[in-house]
């Protein structure tokens, strides 16, 4: 079986987040966090790692399969988060952000991170190997 790398270079994460901030209207701040809590990139200081962990813990519980995206809206603004493999991209926006567009942008960031792309390729290869066996 092939080994799948989950390492994401900090520079790649910072570049991806900078592009997201630059291109998304209404985005206040965001971060990219590894599943182990490692903060890979942030556009504004905050307790991103702990908050992302709390968010997914609250959502998942006994849920099978685990949630891969979440959108929370309040009077003060909106939160969007998506995860793939061991990486979460989270964004805080102004009110009334277009959810479908924000999710599309966040998923695009995940796809553009090299390790997440490798993970998707690796998972597909492992599935093919299992089916062939």
How many domains does the chain contain in total? 1
In a domain? residue 75: yes
In a domain? residue 89: yes
- 61-85 pLDDT tens trace: 776 788 899 999 999 999 999 998 7
- 85-127 pLDDT tens trace: 789 999 999 999 999 999 999 999 999 887 654 544 444 444 4
Residue span of the structural domain in which 90 resides: 10-132
In a domain? residue 45: yes
In this prediction, residue 126 carries a pLDDT of 44
Whether the pLDDT of residue 59 is over 50: the answer is yes
Whole-prediction pTM = 0.79
In a domain? residue 5: no
In a domain? residue 3: no
What CATH code is carried by the domain that includes residue 89? 3.30.450.30
**Which residues have a Cβ under 8 Å from the Cβ of 71 and sit 6 or more positions away?**
78, 79, 80, 99, 102, 103
In a domain? residue 4: no
In a domain? residue 1: no
Which one, of 72, 51, 68, lies nearest residue 60 by Cα? 68
Rounded Cα gap, residues 46 and 41, in angstroms: 11
In a domain? residue 2: no
């Amino acid at each position: 079986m092939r080994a799948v790398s989950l390492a994401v270079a900090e520079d790649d994460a910072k570049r991806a987040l900078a592009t997201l901030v630059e291109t998304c209207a209404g985005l206040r701040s965001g971060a990219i966090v590894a599943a182990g809590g490692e903060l890979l990139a942030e556009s504004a200081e905050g307790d991103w790692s702990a908050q992302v962990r709390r968010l997914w813990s609250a959502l998942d519980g006994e849920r099978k399969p685990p949630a891969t995206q979440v959108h929370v809206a309040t009077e003060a603004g909106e939160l969007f988060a998506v995860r793939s493999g061991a990486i979460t991209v989270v964004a805080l926006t102004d009110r009334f952000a277009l959810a479908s567009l924000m999710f599309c942008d966040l998923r695009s960031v995940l796809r553009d991170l090299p390790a997440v792309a490798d993970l998707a390729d690796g998972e597909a290869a492992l599935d093919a190997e299992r089916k062939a066996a």
